[in-house]
A = this chain, B = another copy of it.
Amino acid sequence: MEVVVPFAASDPKTRLAGVLAPAERSQLARAMLADVLDAVVETGHEPTVVATAPLEIRGLAVDPTVEAETSVTVDDRPLTAAVNARLPQTQGDDPVAVVMADLALTTPAALETLWSSDADVAIAPGRGGGTNALVVRHPEFRVDYHGASYLDHRELARTAGATLETIDSFRLGTDVDEPDDLVEVLVHGDETARTPACLCELGFDLDRSDGRVSAVRLEGSTSSR
């Protein structure tokens, strides 16, 4: 199985612009990518990062095994076109998995659950009808990431005559797009993972003072914004 990890290499995570400067968003996006690559490699697969611009894997400071197993392809087309060009084209082609680069809570176990589905199309949805990760085994299925892609993908699978399984995972369902999502990284992020460490370095911490938990940035840590 091929594992594709699409990555927006320039100006990533624009919806975090209210809390992070451009260079910080880029730093966070790379930390999340590194965590996703770690998890993919730990499941025994060799990920291909499909980046919108050149990217040095060495710059992610992943460990040497992960660096050796990962390749990078530059494809500056929109996400949907770049992914569709890599899906199985004819019967007998290897299955292809597509895992978003911002799934900071991804674990090998969560990915294994997705990999182990034998449906023609297996989808781990995100909040708001997104498609956070999927595995495609059917040569006629194509993605369309615009809008409520999970609903579109269900419909597209039906049209292609493909069976579909929805994977029930909080971890794969959590993509980090908005400031509220940072809480999930601080609550559930693995101690050895890069993304929580990156947020700590950027001055974020959990605020549990008002009964609900939130991610706050400590004063003095935002001067670079």
Contacts and interface: CB of A to CB of B under 8 A. Distances in A.
Given A110-B168, A148-B208, A170-B173, 5 more contacts: A125-B170, A128-B187, A129-B213, A147-B211, A151-B208
Interface in A191-214: 206, 208, 211-214
- Stoichiometry (number of copies): 2
25 contacts: A124-B170, A125-B170, A127-B183, A127-B184, A128-B184, A128-B187, A128-B212, A128-B213, A128-B214, A129-B187, A129-B206, A147-B211, A147-B213, A148-B206, A151-B187, A151-B213, A166-B188, A168-B169, A168-B170, A168-B171, A169-B169, A169-B170, A170-B170, A170-B172, A173-B173
A134 B51 CA distance: 40
- The number of chain A residues touching the other chain, given as a range, is 20 to 34
Contacts of A141: none
A115 interface: no
A168 B174 CA distance: 11
A211 B129 CA distance: 11
Contact of A129 (B147, B171, B183): B183
